[in-house]
Amino acid sequence: MKKTWFGEWFNSPYYHILYQKRDYREASIFIDHLISKLGFNQKHQLMDLACGKGRHSIYLNQKGFNVVGLDLSEQNIKSAKAYENQRLKFHIHDMREVFKENEFDYVLNLFTSFGYFEHDSDNLKCIKAMASALKPGGRIILDFLNPHVVINQLVPEEVKVIKDIEFHITKNYANGFIHKDIKFNDNDEQYAYHEKVKAITEQEFLTYFSTAGLNVEACYGNYELEPYQINESDRMIFIAKKETD
């Protein structure tokens, strides 16, 4: 496969150092809200797509659910597999491809694990692959940043010191993408990585879902599942249902 920024960066140990302080409590509260709002039950089959090291998958499994976690990063899956059991499995997988058809009651794509691709056709391919994985009546839960708020609040430059590594981070918005450059020195070695996420709007997502034959039931604006407000909400959290035949 041609090298991509996400293939290199997500497989790097420095990615996990930089983002080690992500809020696991907030993630757990979000999952609890979803379970309550959508009525998950322990017979449901759940896919955690672009699962990273599996924090959401592991928490859902601890709550008693059947979960399959999928991620492109070999290192992420290697780490997550330490938590596998009969009701929790992890696999290396490209989200643009169908994993299994008509298999899952819920497909979760959380924490802005979307919009990484150069071409819009690949984003649509991802949504179609998710739809194919759903049973009739199943739902996609897609949690994405709110591009309007992120762009308006963009901090151009910052420095973070973590584990004695000084990360120099610059951000900008250009050509429809939110860019982040990360540069640092470790053991007298210079490193540079890049993140790039398409600033996908609510309307663009609605078009993706409609094209894939999905009906959007709700769009929430935060992890408490309050209504989405275009100029105020931190997130866009879509609930999209695959219609029954």
Q: Say if CB 208 and CB 198 are below 8 A apart.
A: no
DSSP 110-124: -SS-----SSHHHHH
Does the pLDDT at position 199 exceed 50? yes
Directed axis angle between helix 24-38 and helix 55-62, to 10°?
Answer: 50
In the 8-state DSSP scheme, what is residue 228? P
| 156 neighbors 10 (Cβ within 8 angstroms) | no
Distance of CA 76 to the CA centre of its chain: 14
pLDDT digits (tens, 9 = 90+) for 125-184: 999 999 999 999 999 999 999 999 999 999 999 999 999 999 999 999 999 999 999 999
- How many distinct helices (H) and strands (E) make up the chain? 8, 11
- pLDDT digits over 54-82, tens only? 999 999 999 999 999 999 989 899 999 99
Pairing of strands 214-220, 235-242: antiparallel
Residue given tokens 């007298």 in the structure block: 188
Q: For residue 42, is pLDDT > 50?
A: yes
